[in-house]
Chain A
Amino acid sequence: MNGTQQLLTHSLDTNEQTLRDYFTKTPDLVYCHLLIGEPKKRALLVYLNTLVDKNSINNNIIDPLLFETKQIHTIADIQLPIGSKSYTTKWEHVIQHVFQGETALFLDGDNQVLLLDTQGWPQRAIAEPQIESSLKGSHQGFIETCEKNIALIRRYLPHQQLKIEETTVGRRGHTPVSLLYLEDVAHPEVLQELKDRIEQVDVDTIVNTGELMQYIEDNPFSPFPQFLLTERPDAAVSNLLQGRIVIVIDRSPSVMIGPMTFITFFQTVDDYSTRWMIASFLRLLRLLAFFMAIFLPSAYIAALSFHYEIIPLNLLLTIGESRERVPLPPLLEAVLMELAIEMLREAGLRLPAPIGQTVGIVGGVVIGQAAVEAGIVSNIMVVIVSLTAIASFIIPNPDMSESIRLLRFPMMIAASLFGLVGMVIGFMLIIGHLISLESLGTPAGSPFAPARLRDWKDTILRFPLWMMRTRPLSARPTQLTRQKKFRK
């Protein structure tokens, strides 16, 4: 409607007519006619009853208006017990705010509209994060409302340097996007880069955080994620303190964090609340899992197709016996099983919990036993596939875990065509890609490439917290000191 650029008129009837022209086929839009003040003056209350808190409207707006005894000249004379309100004369604002669950109060003879904050859409209670279970950290997870999510973060950082910048993305959705950062730590260039990229996004709407991520990431052809998605406020805060920027998107239960490095996807915020030796062991375990998940099936294929010499004799005999009835070459055998386990995983993921169990049983019995007994695959292959699957589940970040699962298929093909040499080339390509990968213009390979030895304290091993006195350089923080030296 081209009327949205226009201004309101002084006539209530004209205004109502404009509204009715605009909101056609909008049955949830409520027009509530009131006579307020002494002498009575006509007023109109407009709201979308699906998006408002009805209690608030009844008690805080309609009730005081009905019992208003003062004379009302202009809309500014109306006093209502609602904290957040604004005035506008533009149709554009009226419509946008009504769609966001605010209530518009029109007064006859006034071209200003009072917009009252009465939002009350359906929302979930704050609950334990579903995807990233928390062992030691907070058990509050982000929900679908931006304000609540910001509140969760602010609780950790009640500090004036925590800045929030709001903007909207999407022509239709007007998705509110908030950037949170520590002004004295986050690098202004990185922040500007992020803001520029978000500004350029011109889409209908952003339904979920993952969508925005794909629009603004550095290298869309990389298999690796370049932003971290988390639904844990403690993880977000931990990253804020490292000088990274948290992007909270309304209507989405996960927040996006950038710039990220490759190694941060192997860290969890729980690491920092675990004693350093245990945390270091877990880090090593995850890195081992990373290599296992990528290379184990391909190593099996390479060894069986090219380099039988590298298998110790006793294992070779076991493999030989186990593969005796298998009609498929190693590559097909491995791809078949890997696909089967991926299907199982995907099937279990989307199914409701009661049926999900059935998938596990069917998969376990059919693939684990029947396939081996039928002689389609070998025992060793089942062991390898299971190990690979478990290894990929150890990676704490689901995005990274999925990237790794995907990468092992090209690796398997390379191994079956070129053996160990193919695996090595594949590995070199991955390494080369990781070195050149960037996240918001900062190197994603940091602190390995470029090598920043000081930051290695928080990579393969997690040094004791009191030894990590500086923030990692990867996010280019402007203030490096994280803590004073207070312990020897």
Chain B
Amino acid sequence: MKKCIYAILCFFIASGCGMKTQLDELTLALTVGLDEGKDGKLLVYSISPVFNKESKNIYEVIRTVGMTPRDGRSKANAFASGKIVGGKAQNIIVSKTFAKKHDMFSYLDVFFRDPKNSTTANFIVFDGPLKELMYIRLDDKPRLSVAIRDVILNGHINKQTTKINMLLFHRLSLDRAQTPFAPILKVHKGDLVAAGIALFNRQRKYVGSLSQKESPYFAILQKNIKPATSLTLAIKGLTKQKEYVSISVEHGEFSYKPSFRNGVFHFDVHMKLGVIVTESTTYIDMKKEKKKVEKWLAKEIQKQLESVVKKLQTYEADPIGFGLYARAYEYRQFQKQKSWSKAFAKAEINIRPTVEIISYGVLQ
């Protein structure tokens, strides 16, 4: 009998029925969008799936005007058919103009502070006014939230853009040695397109972007090569005409060596890339000219990487994490810097890629 009572008591210390969140009674905000309205007020969008067969749309978009995202959600609850919850949020989208003006971190605070919100949601910057995205009609795609997520994830795998979840954004925002970044999404002729990478400065404001073409080089600098990074390079080869060679980078070895000389940071970046030639518009005997081809490829890659780094330096954004190396190897000097971003902008960065061709393809 005593045992029985203990067993029942066990259950009473558990959380009760009041905490219930019945799936049927919820409106799952799968995508949350933040934008600025005409009069400088915050527009909060949320997209949630609708499971009713009688309704025409498979998702609903709720737009509210509020002071903060949480304020916007409270107001949205008046519209929604169920309690709005963010536990399954997939995408947090901000518009570019909004991101330019405001410190993103303070607006995203609710997603970090409230544990009921998902921290694995993707953070995305949208190029254009957000209503363009929210009210888009994609007839050949799944639910909008899923479609957005898939475009970004696929773009990330193919290195056409990058991805960052809220947790990582949080870390990069607070880390002195790094700045956050985010994928850019835009609507092009009624379709969702991943369009490069947004860069944020130390103040978590949008400062500039890398194009879709620069994205793979950004990925290489991040040592993010797997499963394979595809590059198409224009090289002036034997024929002295414009020729294109496409390669797929399969693996790489990296070394970032920081040093501090004459008041500036120096970075020696060495990378050894193993590539497969997937396409070539010229008829050169690759086997014979292997060394030459490798050199051309390395040179072209170096050019591209340097231009990407230059761009980052002009924006004073360090999403790659050069600062991490500086902090690890040159801690004293790093500590002396008032702002790492400024120091990074002045840093000398030498990138020396070497390329090793693993395979020339099957038939030539």
> Quick one: closest A residue to B116, CB to CB?
A309
| Interface size of A in residues (CB-CB distance below 8 Å) | 28
Q: How far is the CA of A321 from the CA of B52 in the complex (A)?
A: 8
Please choose the segment from B11-19, B246-254, B317-325 that sits at the chain A interface, where 4 or more of its residues have CB less than 8 A away.
Answer: B11-19
Chain A residues with Cβ below 8 Å from B19 are 306, 419
A429 and B26 contact, Cβ closer than 8 Å, known pairs A306-B21, A309-B87, A313-B88: no
| Of B11, B26, B143, the contact of A308 (CB 8 Å cutoff) | B26
Cβ A320 vs Cβ B23 within 8 A: yes
Chain A residues with Cβ below 8 Å from B146 are 313-314, 317
> Quick one: closest B residue to A422, CB to CB?
B14
Q: How far is the CA of A386 from the CA of B223 in the complex (A)?
A: 47
Q: How far is the CA of A332 from the CA of B16 in the complex (A)?
A: 18
Cβ B15 vs Cβ A418 within 8 A: yes
| Of A306, A308, A323, A419, the contact of B51 (CB 8 Å cutoff) | A323
Q: How far is the CA of A195 from the CA of B30 in the complex (A)?
A: 67
Nearest CB of A to B17, in Å: 6
Cβ B21 vs Cβ A323 within 8 A: no
A313 and B30 contact, Cβ closer than 8 Å, known pairs A308-B88, A422-B11: yes
Chain B residues with Cβ below 8 Å from A309 are 87-88, 118
Contact string against B for A residues 418-448, beta-carbon threshold 8 Å, 1 for contact and 0 otherwise = 1101100100110000000000000000000
Give the one of A306, A317, A417 with max B CB within 10 A. Answer: A317
A324 at the interface (CB under 8 A from B): yes
A323 and B53 contact, Cβ closer than 8 Å, known pairs A308-B87, A421-B15: no
Nearest CB of B to A330, in Å: 8
Chain A residues with Cβ below 8 Å from B16 are 417-418
Cβ A325 vs Cβ B11 within 8 A: no
Nearest CB of B to A429, in Å: 5
A316 at the interface (CB under 8 A from B): yes
A306 and B20 contact, Cβ closer than 8 Å, known pairs A314-B146, A320-B49, A324-B52: yes
B10 at the interface (CB under 8 A from A): yes
Q: How far is the CA of A316 from the CA of B20 in the complex (A)?
A: 17
> Quick one: closest B residue to A424, CB to CB?
B14
Chain B residues with Cβ below 8 Å from A321 are 51
Instruction: List residues 270-308 of chain A with CB under 8 A from any CB of chain B.
Output: 304-308
> Quick one: closest B residue to A304, CB to CB?
B23
B7 at the interface (CB under 8 A from A): yes
Q: How far is the CA of A320 from the CA of B88 in the complex (A)?
A: 13
Chain B residues with Cβ below 8 Å from A320 are 23, 28, 49, 51
Chain B residues with Cβ below 8 Å from A325 are 53
Cβ A329 vs Cβ B22 within 8 A: yes
Contact string against A for B residues 67-89, beta-carbon threshold 8 Å, 1 for contact and 0 otherwise = 00000000000000000010110
A319 at the interface (CB under 8 A from B): yes
Q: How far is the CA of A323 from the CA of B15 in the complex (A)?
A: 25
Q: How far is the CA of A306 from the CA of B26 in the complex (A)?
A: 11
| Interface size of B in residues (CB-CB distance below 8 Å) | 28
Q: How far is the CA of A425 from the CA of B19 in the complex (A)?
A: 17
Contact string against A for B residues 14-48, beta-carbon threshold 8 Å, 1 for contact and 0 otherwise = 11110111111010101000000000000000000
Cβ B53 vs Cβ A324 within 8 A: yes
Nearest CB of A to B59, in Å: 10
Chain B residues with Cβ below 8 Å from A422 are 11, 14
Cβ B17 vs Cβ A417 within 8 A: yes
> Quick one: closest B residue to A419, CB to CB?
B15
Instruction: List residues 141-173 of chain B with CB under 8 A from any CB of chain A.
Output: 143, 146, 149
> Quick one: closest B residue to A414, CB to CB?
B11
B90 at the interface (CB under 8 A from A): yes
Contact string against A for B residues 262-300, beta-carbon threshold 8 Å, 1 for contact and 0 otherwise = 000000000000000000000000000000000000000
Instruction: List residues 309-346 of chain B with CB under 8 A from any CB of chain A.
Output: none
Instruction: List residues 66-81 of chain A with CB under 8 A from any CB of chain B.
Output: none
Cβ A308 vs Cβ B53 within 8 A: no
Nearest CB of A to B263, in Å: 51
Q: How far is the CA of A320 from the CA of B49 in the complex (A)?
A: 9
> Quick one: closest A residue to B142, CB to CB?
A317
Nearest CB of B to A290, in Å: 21
Cβ B23 vs Cβ A317 within 8 A: no
Cβ B22 vs Cβ A421 within 8 A: no
Cβ B49 vs Cβ A304 within 8 A: no
A317 and B11 contact, Cβ closer than 8 Å, known pairs A305-B22, A306-B21, A308-B23: no
Chain B residues with Cβ below 8 Å from A425 are 10-11, 14
Q: How far is the CA of A330 from the CA of B16 in the complex (A)?
A: 16
Q: How far is the CA of A421 from the CA of B28 in the complex (A)?
A: 23
Nearest CB of A to B52, in Å: 6
Give the one of A309, A321, A330 with max B CB within 10 A. Answer: A309
Q: How far is the CA of A314 from the CA of B142 in the complex (A)?
A: 11
Q: How far is the CA of A324 from the CA of B15 in the complex (A)?
A: 27
Chain B residues with Cβ below 8 Å from A305 are 20-23
Chain A residues with Cβ below 8 Å from B21 are 305-308
Q: How far is the CA of A65 from the CA of B19 in the complex (A)?
A: 89
A421 and B14 contact, Cβ closer than 8 Å, known pairs A309-B118, A316-B28, A324-B53: yes
Nearest CB of A to B325, in Å: 36
Q: How far is the CA of A307 from the CA of B30 in the complex (A)?
A: 16
Chain B residues with Cβ below 8 Å from A308 are 21, 23, 26, 28, 85, 87-88
| Of A317, A329, A414, the contact of B49 (CB 8 Å cutoff) | A317
> Quick one: closest B residue to A417, CB to CB?
B17
Nearest CB of A to B50, in Å: 9
Nearest CB of B to A223, in Å: 13
Nearest CB of B to A373, in Å: 13
Q: How far is the CA of A326 from the CA of B25 in the complex (A)?
A: 12
Chain A residues with Cβ below 8 Å from B14 are 417-418, 421-422, 425
Q: How far is the CA of A206 from the CA of B51 in the complex (A)?
A: 59
Chain B residues with Cβ below 8 Å from A419 are 15, 19
Cβ A323 vs Cβ B10 within 8 A: no
Cβ A319 vs Cβ B23 within 8 A: yes
Nearest CB of A to B30, in Å: 7
Q: How far is the CA of A422 from the CA of B13 in the complex (A)?
A: 10
Nearest CB of B to A425, in Å: 5
Chain A residues with Cβ below 8 Å from B52 are 324
Q: How far is the CA of A235 from the CA of B201 in the complex (A)?
A: 74
> Quick one: closest B residue to A310, CB to CB?
B87
Cβ A323 vs Cβ B28 within 8 A: no
Q: How far is the CA of A317 from the CA of B15 in the complex (A)?
A: 27
| Of B22, B85, B90, the contact of A313 (CB 8 Å cutoff) | B90
Chain B residues with Cβ below 8 Å from A428 are 10
Across the A-B interface, give the 4 residue pairs with the lowest CB-CB distance, nearest first. A324-B51, A418-B14, A309-B87, A320-B51
Q: Given A428-B10, A429-B7, 20 more contacts at CB 8 Å? A: A304-B22, A305-B23, A307-B21, A308-B28, A308-B88, A309-B87, A309-B88, A313-B146, A313-B149, A317-B143, A317-B146, A320-B51, A323-B23, A323-B24, A324-B51, A330-B23, A417-B16, A419-B15, A425-B10, A425-B14
List, sorted by A's number, 30 A–B pairs whose CB atoms are closer than 8 Å.
Answer: A304-B23, A305-B20, A305-B21, A305-B22, A305-B23, A306-B19, A306-B21, A308-B88, A309-B87, A313-B146, A314-B146, A316-B23, A316-B88, A317-B143, A319-B23, A320-B23, A320-B49, A321-B51, A323-B24, A323-B51, A324-B52, A325-B53, A414-B11, A417-B14, A417-B16, A418-B11, A418-B14, A419-B19, A425-B11, A428-B10
